Amino acid sequence: MPTPTSPHPIPDPRQTAMDSADLSQNDRRSRTGARTGPAGWTHDTAVRVKRVIRGRLRVLGALPAALALVVALPAAATADSDVVFTIKDERIGESSGLVASAQHPDVYWTHNDSGDSPRIYAIGKDGATKATITLSGVDARDWEAITVGKDDTGKPAVFVGDIGDNFHGKWPEVWIYRFAEPATLADATVKPTRFRVKYDNGPRDAEAMLMDPRTNKLYIASKESDGGLYEQPEQLSTTGINTFRRIAAGDSTVTDGAFAPDGSRFVLRGYFSATVFSAPGKQVGPVSVPLQRQGESVAWSADGRSLLFGSEGKGSQVRRVELKGDNRPDSVRNAPGGGAKSDAKSDEAGSTAGDKSDGDSAADKTKTYGPGLLAVAGLVLLFFAYRRLGRRGNRD
C-alpha cells in the first residue's frame, strides 16, 4: 500500500497501541505468580495491548486480505459444506481451536482466544455447552490451539496451546497445558501440567498445534512470513525448557491444524485455504474451505472422512467438508467402498455433470467473485473511514 500523502497520515497502529495501553507502574509490576512478557508486562496488560493492536490492524490489514479473497474465493465458494452445529454459548466469541473429544462421541472441545478466563468448553452436536473445564493456576494469555492425545499413563488427555505471540517474537517462551480428559462431562476445575516451550530458531508467532496419534508427538505450525512446522523433543519435560525443532517449511497464514484419526494425514488451514499432508513437507493436495467470518480452527471428523471448519464470532458455525481422493486418510481409502472404484464413479459423475453445463457462466462468475468484490468495496469504505477517524483524532 503506498504511503498516504494526506497531511494527517494514518497513525502507526503499533505506536497507538502502546499509547493506548495504560502502562502504569502497577501494570509493570508483576502480580504474585503472574508471568510477564515484553518489558515486564503482565498478562492483563498484554491482553489490552493485543486488543488495541488487533482492532487497528483489522482495518489496515483487511484491504489486502480482501484482495487475496478475490483470488482465493473461487476455491472457497465451491466448498461443498454443511453446518454441523452452531455454537450457542454467549461466552464463546473467539473460538480459536477445535478438536473432537477422544472419549465422548459428537462432542468437541473449543476455547476462546485471549481475554477469557482459563477455561475450555465441551460443545455437543446441538451446539450447546455440555461442560466447562477451568484450568487453575494459569493465565489464558493467548490461547490459540487445542488437541487431544495421551498423558504419561496412556490415558486420553487434552492439550491447550498458549502459543500466540502478536509481538512478533517478544515472548521469551510460550506454554502448553495438559490435563486428563474427563470421563464424565460436567463443570470442573483441574490443575494442568505445564510445559515450557521455545523454538530452535527463536521466538515465533503460532496458532496451530497438532498431535500425531501414532507417536503422541506434538507439532506447532508458526504463522509468519517464514512459516514453519516444528516438532517437539523426544520427550516433553515438566522441569526444563522443551525446544521445538523446525522440520519443514510452512505457510504464512496458518491458523490451525489437525491430524487424521489414523495419523496418515494432517491438515493445515489458513483463512481461505487448507492443505493436506502425508508427512511434514509432503503435500497431498488442497482442500476447499467454506467462506467464514474469520476462519480460525479445523478438526478431523471421528470417522476420518471429513474436515470441520470453525470461525471466530458469537454464534459461529462449524461446517463440514467431505474429503475426496488421496486427501482422505489411509483408513478411509482402504476401507470397503472407499478405494479407487469409488473415486472413479465420483469422477465420472463429475464429468457428466460438467458436460451438461456451459462451463463458467456469467451467473457462476458473479456468484464466485461477487462476494469478494463486495468485500473489497466495503473495506475500501472502511479504510477511508479509518483515515477520517485518524485525522479527527489528530485534531483533537
pLDDT at 44: 54
Domain boundaries, the chain: 52-78+357-396, 87-323
Query: How far are the Cα atoms of 10, 374, 391 from residue 381, in angstroms, in the given order?
Result: 15, 11, 15
Average pLDDT, the chain: 77
- Alpha-carbon gap, residue 298 to 216, rounded angstroms: 19
User: What pLDDT score does 338 carry?
Assistant: 63
pLDDT at 37: 54
pLDDT at 40 (0 to 100) = 52
User: CATH assignment of 87-323, given 3.10.180.10, 3.40.630.40, 2.40.50.100, 2.120.10.30?
Assistant: 2.120.10.30
pLDDT at 46: 52
The secondary structure element, H or E, covering residue 353 is helix 340-356
In this model, does residue 269 exceed pLDDT 90? yes
Provide the residue type at 71 as one letter: V
pLDDT tens by residue, 158-196: 999 999 998 877 889 999 999 999 999 999 999 999 999
| pLDDT at position 395 over 50 | no
Q: What mean pLDDT comes out for the span 256-277?
A: 97
Task: Give phi and psi for 201, each to the nearest 5.
Answer: -120, 30
Q: Could you tell me the pLDDT band of residue 45, with boundaries at 50, 70 and 90?
A: low
What would the pLDDT profile of 344-381 be if each residue is shown by its tens digit? 444 443 433 344 333 333 333 333 334 444 444 444 44
pLDDT surpassing 50 at residue 282: yes
* Residues paired with 76 in a beta bridge: none
Separation between Cα atoms, residue 217 and residue 155, nearest integer Å: 15
Q: For 82-101, what is each residue's pLDDT tens digit?
A: 999 999 999 999 999 999 99
Helix (H/G/I), strand (E/B), else coil: 77: helix
Cα separation of 156 and 298, whole Å? 20
pLDDT on residue 229 = 98
Q: How confident is the model at residue 76 (pLDDT cuts 50, 70, 90)?
A: very low
Distance between the two ends of the chain, CA-based, in angstroms?
27
H-helix or E-strand containing 332?
Answer: helix 330-333
CA nearest neighbour of 139 among 61, 220, 32, 229: 32
Res. 2 pLDDT band, cuts 50 70 90 = very low
Confidence of residue 105 (pLDDT cuts 50, 70, 90): very high
State the amino acid at position 246 in one-letter form. R
Give per-residue pLDDT as tens, 8-21: 343 444 444 444 44
pLDDT of residue 114: 76
